[in-house]
Amino acid sequence: RLLLAELRRQGNDRSGAERELRQLLSLNPDRLEALQLLTLLQLEQGRGGQAQAQLRERLAKASKPEVKPQALGIGLLLGDLDQRLGQADQAAGLYSQLATDFPKDPRPLLALALLRQQRGDGQGAQEALVQARGRQGEANGRNLDAVASAWGLSGLRQSATASGTSNVTGPSQP
DSSP string spanning 32-64? Answer: HHHHHHHHHHHHHTT-HHHHHHHHHHHHHHHHS
107 phi and psi angles, rounded to 5 deg = -60, -45
Taking residue 156's Cβ as centre, other Cβ atoms within 10 Å add up to 13
pLDDT band at 43 (very low <50, low <70, confident <90, very high): very high
pLDDT of residue 142: 62
Residues in the chain, total:
174
Lowest mean pLDDT among 41-45, 138-142, 159-163: 159-163
108-158 pLDDT, tens digit each: 999 999 999 999 998 999 899 888 888 876 555 566 666 666 666 554 444
Query: How high is the pLDDT of residue 47?
Result: 94
State the Cα–Cα distance between residues 33 and 62, nearest whole angstrom: 16
Cβ atoms 143, 169 nearer than 8 A? no
Mean pLDDT (whole number) for 72-85:
96
What's the predicted TM-score (pTM) here?
A: 0.78
Contact 9, 41 (CB under 8 A): yes
Residues 6+ apart with CB under 8 A from 85: 48, 49, 52
